Structure 1
Amino acid sequence: MTPPDDLVRAVEATLFAATAPMSAEQISAHLGGAAVGEALRRLAADYAGRGIELVERGKRWHFQTAPDLAHLLRREREDVRRLSRAATEVLAIVAYHEPVSRAEIESIRGVQTAKGTLDVLLEAGWVRVAGRREVPGRPVIYATTPEFLAHFGLASRRDLPGIDELRAAGLLDPVDDALAAAMEGAGAQDPPDAPVDEPGETRNTQQNALD
C-alpha cells in the first residue's frame, strides 16, 4: 500500500478532529485552499471495509463506525423514540417533495397537520425551514437536512427508495398505498379504513388554504 502523502494525512486529521461533518470546501478552506477531492476519495477507499469508514452524506464528510459493528459498541440498549404515524408521513412527504409548504403537505396527506408534528421533525434536526415561497401569503417551506441523510445512511436524496421498492419490502400497507399514490402525483384519496389522525389533526374535506 502506498504511504499516504502529507495532504491525505492532513485531511484525515482534520476530519478526526472535527466536531461535525465537513464539506470538501470547508476542509479545503481549513487547509489553506488545498484541492482535497482526490485525498478524500483515497481516504474513503483506504477505510472501506474497516471498523471505521469515511462516508459522504449530503456533500459532507465524516468518519463513522461500520454499520455491522455498531452493536459491539453499545453498552446498554437504548430506548428508541419512534416517530408517530403523522410525523413519519410528513417526513416522507418533505423528503420526496422538498421544498414543500405546510399547505402542500396537508394537500397530499388529506389531513390538517398539527404544529407539533413539524416541531418534532425540526427538533430532531431532520427537517429545516428552507425559506418562503414567492406566492401570495409567502408560506414557509420545509426541506430535509444533512443530518436526515446521515441518520438514514443516504449520500443524497437520489438514494431515497422508490415507492415500488417500499411496497416490495412490505413497508407500505393498504392505507399507505393511498399516500403513496398521492406522492406519485395520482392525487390524494382517503381510503375506506383511513388511519386515526394525530391529536390536533382533522381530516380535510376541502382544499387547504395557504399557510
Structure 2
Amino acid sequence: EPLDEGSLAVRLPEGVDVPKVLLSLQQSYQARGVNLVNVAGKWAFRTAPDLAHLLLREVQAPRRLSRAAVETLAIIAYHQPTTRADIEEIRGVSISRGTLDLLMETGWIRIAGRRRTPGRPVTYGITDAFLEHFGLEDVKDLPGVKELKAAGLLDSSPPLNFHGSPADNENEDSDAESDEDSGLEFSPDLREDDELDLPKEEANALDQTSDLDDEQT
C-alpha cells in the first residue's frame, strides 16, 4: 500500500530526512526488478516496467453462450450471408441488442457486407475461427439434414429451408422460453447475453457439431 512522506516519518527515527532517504532508495532500486515510485503523492514499490510482462498472468475463464446466442450462430452458419431481419424471421422473435455484438466479440462471426436491398442492411457470416473451433474444414462440413435426423436432432418433418436463404412462409412461435445456458463454451471473458431460449433446428445442428468437437479433443 502506498505511503506518503508523513506516514513514513512517523515510522522512522526522529530527525530523519525522509525525502533524502526516499531519493536514495529510489536510485538504489532503479536497476533492480522492483522500483520505488511516487504514485499520486505517495511512495510504493512496483515491478520494473521492463519486467512487468513476465509477471503478467492472463486467465481465460470459459463462459457459456445462451441458447438464443447459439441459435443465432447456427442460423448465420447455415444461411450466411444473412441479415438481422432474416435471423429474426427464422427465430420468430427479435434479437436482443447484445446478441450479435457478443458473437462478434467471440470471433466466430463477421460482417460479410451489405445486401443490395432498400436500407442496405448489414449481412453476417462465419469466420475461420468458427471452423477451427468446431473442427470443420469448410462450412459444407456442417451436419446435413440426414445426419441430424439420424442423430435424433430433427423430427420427421422437413426442416425449414435448411441450407438455403430464409423461407418466406410464417414461422411457428416457440412454445417455451428460457434463458438456460446452451452448454456451448468460449474462452473470452465477455458480457452475458440475456436473450430468451427458443430452440430451433439450427441450434440443434450447432450443438451436435460442438459435441463432435468435444469428443475429438
- TM-score normalised to structure 1 length: 0.49
Higher relative contact order (CA 8 A, sep 6+): 2
More helix by share: 1
Higher strand share goes to which structure? 2
Larger Rg: 2
